[in-house]
Structure 1
Amino acid sequence: MDIKVLTAPGLGSSGPLHWQTLWEQAVPGAKRIEQRDWNEPVCAAWVATIEKAVSQAGPHVVIAAHSLACIALAFWARQTRLPVQGALLVAPADSERPGFPQEAKGFSPIPQVHLPFKSIVVASTNDEYATIERSALFAHYWGSRFVNVGAKGHINATSGLGDWPEGQQLLKELVHNWPTP
């Protein structure tokens, strides 16, 4: 059984030095869920795109989501009937916080429902887009294992993680035959 990896970037997408982009380049079969609008996202449109990508990938897929895509994935999980192997939810953005970008529409209230697949929420103690406490609460809502990675900012390219081996290890927990790049 071949497990496919879908990456789901957040607001603005993930640039060339982001761990998601590096995973897409290094892992055979990894593919980005391409949203139509990265800068003025509408949750319902992102959910529809996730549904289409998972449908095309088949049931043996794991999703590596970052930031706002974690919230979109929670909305998607609430309404889909498609199976997935699991999800790595990295640095979920708190769409209910004061100052949340107004150009992002429909991402709140954040779903408080257990995800119908195995999941891991990964958070940092100094993420500017969600406190560690809120990230732990999201993990509780979603029935996810919670991992505090310490002070790593928004766990993105600016954090200087490169291909983020620690994240790859977490993804391996969701799928046992994760290919080694």
Structure 2
Amino acid sequence: MLVPGRGLPKPEHWMQRWAAANPSYLWAPRPPGPPFILEDRVQALHAAIAADDEPAVLIAHSGGCLSTVVWAQRHVGPVQAALLVTPPYVDKHWPSFGLVPRQRLPFRTILVASHTDPYTSFAQFQRYADDWGAELFDAGEAGHLETASGYGPWPDGERLVETLT
């Protein structure tokens, strides 16, 4: 299940490529683009998880990672694992968001971190991983792992998903 960030992924973005190559990958929600309204995103994710009897593997990017951790704090459901790719660092002063949950996630999680992400430092990624009980995958100097950083194809990500299924 693909959990998009706040923007609409470009056609060449790795999430769009994975959705096209894997018809079983569902969007939760279908990429709506801005604005990012957390409550709407969490409700859409909950509806998608609840609609499927099979345990989900959540593949979240950027703001979608925040939707995922908020969902996990509020709900239970058939989730097998999550791949959280470059979650942005949000402090208590970010408008209309509030605090990011810091509780351990109840499913296996891999957090993908970059040394050159403009929204999160590597140390902040490490704190998220520690708080959420996630394995940290060091992606090197990968920017925000989006199209502007050169990610179209992302074979390392595909391999990470395989370890979660």
Residue deviations 1:155-181 (CA, integer Å, cap 9, x gap): 011122322110011111111xxxxxx
**Counterpart amino acid of 2:71?**
W
Distance 1:27 1:11 in 2: 22
Residue deviations 1:19-65 (CA, integer Å, cap 9, x gap): 01000001131121126853122212211111001112333210110
| Residues 70 and 90 in structure 1, CA contact (< 8 A), matched pair in contact too | yes
- Please, which of 154, 161, 167 is the counterpart of residue 157 of structure 2? 167
| Residues 75 and 111 in structure 1, CA contact (< 8 A), matched pair in contact too | yes
| Residues 35 and 46 in structure 1, CA contact (< 8 A), matched pair in contact too | no
Look up the match of 2:24. Answer: 29
Alignment of 1:85-100 (within 5 A): 85-96=80-91
Structure 1: which 5+ runs fail to align?
Answer: 1-5, 176-181
- Answering whether residue 77 of structure 2 is matched by residue 82 of structure 1, we say yes
State TM-score, norm by structure 2: 0.93
**1:170 partner SS:** helix
State TM-score, norm by structure 1: 0.85
- Answering whether residue 119 of structure 2 is matched by residue 129 of structure 1, we say yes
RMSD: 1.7
**1:112 partner SS:** coil
| Residues 59 and 82 in structure 1, CA contact (< 8 A), matched pair in contact too | no
Q: How many residues align?
A: 165
Distance 1:70 1:18 in 2: 16
Look up the match of 1:12. Answer: 7
Residue deviations 1:97-131 (CA, integer Å, cap 9, x gap): 87x5x4xx32x311110111111000110000111
| Residues 8 and 32 in structure 2, CA contact (< 8 A), matched pair in contact too | no
Distance 1:51 1:136 in 2: 27
Distance 1:32 1:158 in 2: 22
Look up the match of 1:150. Answer: 140
Look up the match of 1:120. Answer: 110
Identity %: 30
Residue deviations 1:78-111 (CA, integer Å, cap 9, x gap): 111212111000000112287x5x4xx32x3111
- Answering whether residue 97 of structure 2 is matched by residue 139 of structure 1, we say no
Structure 2: which 5+ runs fail to align?
Answer: none
